[in-house]
Amino acid sequence: MTDNKFLTGPITRRKALKGAGGLGLGLALSGLAAPAVHAAGGAPIRFLNCETGKGTLAFFSKAAAEYEEKTGREVVVDSVPLGEAFTKITNGIRSGNPYHVANVGFIGHVLLLAEEGQIVPLNELTDEYQWGNNILFPVDGKVYWYPFDYNLALIYYRKDLYEKHGLEVPATWDGFAGNCEALVEGRRKGCLFPIGSNGASNWMSFAFMWAEGVKIFDDQWNVVLDSPEMKPKAAAYLDFMARLYPTMPPGSLQASYADVLSNLVAGTVAHGAYAGRVIESAERDNPAMAEQLGIMPYMDSAGTRKAASHGYDGWVVLDTDNTGPSMEFMRWLTTAKMVDFLHTAPVHFQPARLDIYDDPRWRDNAMIRKYATEIETMRELVTDDSVVVTSIDTQGPVPDVRPGKVFESFAMPEMLQDKILRGTDSAEAVETTAARIRELVG
Amino acid sequence: MTRWLLPGFLAVGVIATLVLIVGPALYAVSLSFYEIRSLTSAPEWAGLANYAAVLASGEFWNALWNGIVYAGLAIVLQVVLGIGFALLLNQPFVGRPILRGIAFLPYLLPTVIAVLTFKWMVDGSLGIVTILMDDLGLPPIYWFETETASMVSVILISVWLWTPFVTTTFLAGLQTVPPQLYEAARVDGAGPVRRFFHVTLPSLRPILTVIILLRGVWMFNKFDVIWLTTGGGPLGATEHLPVLSYRMAFTLYDIGSGAAVATLSFFVLMAAVTLYFRFFPIEGGK
């Protein structure tokens, strides 16, 4: 023990204690000083982003740095795939460390959070603009999210194959199924519309039914899918999908968003549904294919009505101690930076705000100029009142969590599976699904 | 110092178990007695209502049956193939050490990589298997497109992934069987088949009992393979209790029912393990 250098060497116990004390004091002071430094800019804004494209991530990184430089307020951006967003948001709330601004891609989640008082109305940001159809989903006049884009699912078709085979852009189910059958050749299949229990099926495969005028709920929230008016239409839709199925590649039950995208870009299917991402992916990976892709809305059986499958993304502001600064950040993001943000996926991020379509800064983009015709078609779909823009989760007379439950239960894709894989009679499949939905929504 | 060493280590183990396993498990069980409509809403006491609703639903019994079929068939195939490969790899031949290493390889692969690779290989448009079959003039296989095909596919993936565990464990056991026993059996005129059933199997019964037990528990609780391949579909054909529990809790946000399914699953498994030990006591092999 006596040979301990702390007792006998140049560093004595007293010196060591003094040094440790000094170090502790320094650390304590620096710790005390830290809040003062933070206080200059306030608590950081925690931003949950779900747009994970390379360009979009770079945009948020740059925007956060710019905002901090401008205001002194740090913005911490976390990025996760959209599928994980709601769990992250709710986990944050439960853990007492919530996000302040979050990206949401499912209106059912917005309504759930609004119902529980977890998010604040954003009318002060949304009221000053004109918006496309069916995108704000107000609840008693209050808008709880800031939609930044539509992701309408539209039908992509091969213009070169149509020309080669002398086919017309179809206006009826019969015409569409005929074209799909005509374009099956070797490994190339006629079309791909997912039928599995997943979000891709919910999004891509039901707009034919919406075009036909099918509704799941009436104005009083009664399930009317199997009503005398709706059942024959829904059953006819199932018969139509059963006709398309043999023209699809094996695996349509498992097909995800990525599968449909890759099949369209690779040219292994002649038709498929998606939003503008297809054009961007084709431009990047298969430019020759990008030139050959045309778009059309979904159609009904008689050729009288068009539809697009609703898709959208937006931001919510959570009700936290940091709500005020978060709203300020949102105001900055949605005014000064909105166009830059949309340019990170210029065709895919179809603007929800109508003023943007006429904004020269937005139009001044190579992709937007090149695909001006397609973009104009997309714009018409959200401004023409005769076009049905809906989806499973936005069914019903007003925004509500009930259609969200139907969406999440995958009851509708399972109706397709019941018909296509089990060969159940179409009317019976509709009745079974309606009964299941009644059970789900109470 | 050594007086406190054993209790110290024990205390660390007990505390870690309580905090990381027992606590969360009890919390999960407690959730099953509440109605919780979302991940942020306040829980409301529901008593046994979640259990009553779950037990009355066809989904639970369907998922239980699927779990039994999936785990049962996967274990049988894993054990039969695993023992077969172990017997082969126990024979002397050139390159045996390399082959033993390769045989263990699938077990080292993360499930998500193995499953996604399999899905890409059998993709209906771009998969290498699909293209090869097309080149050979064979019709495409609808791997996941029917209820039976889906179950067969998930079982095959599971067998491919975890047979090496059985092979390796059984192979290690084979090295411990005294050669004199085989020599004596040979002198008595026993052929390879009789030597296997009368020498090898009885000698390795304790190992086999543990292998089957472990694989059974793991397969019954196996979530990732089914979730990544079929998500429980089509039409619930591959949905077993873990997937049902997850779906109820995290897609339908019925947290209470999801927890009830998980708790029931735990009790089913506990009952099965108790019965298993009654019929196959490990000590019985000695």
Q: What pTM does this model have?
A: 0.83
Chain A closest-CA separation from residue B234 CA (Å): 7
Q: In sequence order, which residues have a C-beta less than 8 Å from that of residue A193 and are 6 or more positions away?
A: A201, A204, A205, A241, A244, A248, A252, A272, A273
Q: Are A182 and A259 in a shared domain? A: yes
Q: In sequence order, which residues have a C-beta less than 8 Å from that of residue A420 and are 6 or more positions away?
A: A195, A238, A241, A242, A245
The helix or strand, by DSSP H or E, that contains position A4, with its residue range, turns out to be: none
Q: Are A135 and A230 in a shared domain? A: no
Chains A, B: CB contacts within 8 A come to 87
Residue B106 Cα distances to B162, B217, B220, angstroms:
7, 20, 20
When CB atoms are compared, the residue of A250, A262, A405 closest to B142 is A250
Structure-token pair, residue B200? 């090898």
With an 8 Å Cβ cutoff, the interface of chain B facing chain A consists of 38-41, 119, 122-126, 130-131, 134, 140-147, 229-235, 250-253
Q: Are A295 and A165 in a shared domain? A: yes
SS3 B139: coil
When CB atoms are compared, the residue of B40, B41, B145 closest to A421 is B145
Residue of B nearest to A263 (CA): B125
SS3 A49: strand
Rounded to whole angstroms, the maximal C-alpha distance in chain B is 75
Structure-token pair, residue A249? 């590649």
Residue A171 Cα distances to A167, A177, A192, A232, A234, angstroms:
12, 11, 18, 20, 18
Q: Is residue A34 part of a domain?
A: no
Q: Is residue B1 part of a domain?
A: no
Q: Are A77 and A207 in a shared domain? A: no
Q: What is the CATH number of the domain that holds A233?
A: 3.40.190.10
Residue A328 Cα distances to A142, A147, A151, A235, A315, angstroms:
19, 17, 26, 50, 14
Select from A331, A358, A382 the last residue of a domain. A382
CB–CB contact A116 B123 (8 Å):
no
Chain A closest-CA separation from residue B268 CA (Å): 26
Q: In sequence order, which residues have a C-beta less than 8 Å from that of residue A214 and are 6 or more positions away?
A: A225, A230, A233, A234, A237
Structure-token pair, residue A412? 């509708």
Q: Are A188 and A158 in a shared domain? A: yes
Q: What is the CATH number of the domain that holds B85?
A: 1.10.3720.10
Q: Is residue A214 part of a domain?
A: yes
Each of the 442 residues of chain A gets a pLDDT tens digit; together they read 334 444 444 555 555 555 555 555 554 444 444 443 444 458 999 999 999 999 999 999 999 999 999 999 999 999 999 888 998 999 899 889 999 999 999 898 899 899 889 999 999 999 999 999 999 999 999 999 999 999 999 999 999 999 999 999 999 999 999 999 999 998 899 999 999 999 899 999 999 999 999 999 999 999 999 999 999 999 999 999 999 999 999 888 888 899 999 999 999 999 999 999 999 999 999 999 999 999 999 999 999 999 999 999 999 999 999 999 999 999 999 999 999 999 999 999 999 999 999 999 999 999 999 999 999 999 999 999 999 999 999 999 998 889 988 998 999 999 999 999 999 999 999 999 999 999 988 8
Q: Is residue B270 part of a domain?
A: yes
Residue of A nearest to B247 (CA): A409
Instruction: Please give the tally of structural domains in chain B.
Output: 1
Residues of A in contact with B143 (CB under 8 A): 250-251
Structural contact between residues A315 and A60, judged by C-beta atoms closer than 8 angstroms: no
Residue A29 is predicted with a pLDDT of 46
Residue of B nearest to A433 (CA): B235
CB–CB contact B234 A263 (8 Å):
no
Q: Is residue A16 part of a domain?
A: no
Chain B closest-CA separation from residue A254 CA (Å): 7
d(CA A395, CA A28): 58
Chain B closest-CA separation from residue A92 CA (Å): 10
Structure-token pair, residue A387? 């076009």
CB–CB contact B39 A90 (8 Å):
yes
Residues of A in contact with B230 (CB under 8 A): 254
Residue B250 Cα distances to B163, B227, B244, B263, angstroms:
31, 13, 10, 16
Q: Are A206 and A60 in a shared domain? A: no
Residues of chain B with pLDDT under 50: 285-286
Q: Are A231 and A371 in a shared domain? A: no
Q: Are A134 and A239 in a shared domain? A: no
Residues of A in contact with B231 (CB under 8 A): 196-198
d(CA A180, CA A159): 13
CB–CB contact A409 B142 (8 Å):
no
d(CA A268, CA A260): 10
SS3 A53: coil
d(CA B105, CA B98): 11
**Tokens 């374009």 -> residue:** A183
d(CA A23, CA A10): 19
Q: Is residue B253 part of a domain?
A: yes
The helix or strand, by DSSP H or E, that contains position A350, with its residue range, turns out to be: strand A350-351
Angle of the B58-89 helix axis to the B255-279 helix axis, nearest 10: 50
Structure-token pair, residue B151? 């179950």
Which pLDDT tens digit goes with each residue over B42-74? 888 999 999 999 999 999 999 999 999 999 999
When CB atoms are compared, the residue of A90, A116, A251 closest to B123 is A251
Chain A closest-CA separation from residue B167 CA (Å): 32
> Which of B220, B250, B248, B274 is closest to B60 using CA atoms?
B248
**Tokens 């529901």 -> residue:** B46
Domain extent at residue A340: 41-150+312-382
The beta strand positions in A212-320, using DSSP E, are 271-274, 293-296, 298-299, 306-309, 312-317
Structural contact between residues A436 and A415, judged by C-beta atoms closer than 8 angstroms: no
Torsion sign across C-alpha atoms A415, A416, A422, A426: positive
Q: Is residue A19 part of a domain?
A: no
Residue of B nearest to A84 (CA): B250
CB–CB contact A113 B40 (8 Å):
yes
Q: Are A407 and A283 in a shared domain? A: yes
**Tokens 């002198």 -> residue:** B187
Q: Are A305 and A319 in a shared domain? A: no
Q: Are A329 and A203 in a shared domain? A: no
CB–CB contact A113 B233 (8 Å):
no
CB–CB contact A254 B119 (8 Å):
yes
CB–CB contact A251 B124 (8 Å):
yes
Chain B closest-CA separation from residue A183 CA (Å): 15
The burial of B90, by beta-carbon neighbours within 10 Å (0-12 exposed, 13-18 middle, 19 or more buried), is given as: middle
Name the DSSP letter for residue A33.
H
Q: Are A293 and A417 in a shared domain? A: yes
Chain A closest-CA separation from residue B65 CA (Å): 20
d(CA A87, CA A341): 25
Q: Is residue A326 part of a domain?
A: yes
Neighbours of B126 (CB within 10 A): 17
Structural contact between residues A86 and A104, judged by C-beta atoms closer than 8 angstroms: yes
Q: Testing the interface with A: which of B125, B145, B153 to mutate, by most A Cβ within 10 A? A: B125
d(CA B231, CA B247): 9
Structural contact between residues A88 and A113, judged by C-beta atoms closer than 8 angstroms: no
Residues of B in contact with A196 (CB under 8 A): 231, 233-234
Domain extent at residue B197: 51-285
Q: Is residue B73 part of a domain?
A: yes
d(CA A347, CA A337): 17
d(CA B106, CA A426): 44
Q: Is residue A192 part of a domain?
A: yes
Instruction: Please give the tally of structural domains in chain A.
Output: 2
Residues of B in contact with A419 (CB under 8 A): none
Q: Testing the interface with A: which of B36, B145, B154, B225 to mutate, by most A Cβ within 10 A? A: B145
Residues of B in contact with A94 (CB under 8 A): 39-40
Neighbours of B204 (CB within 10 A): 21
Q: Is residue A20 part of a domain?
A: no
d(CA B136, CA A287): 31
Q: Is residue A10 part of a domain?
A: no
Chain A closest-CA separation from residue B55 CA (Å): 16
Q: Is residue B142 part of a domain?
A: yes
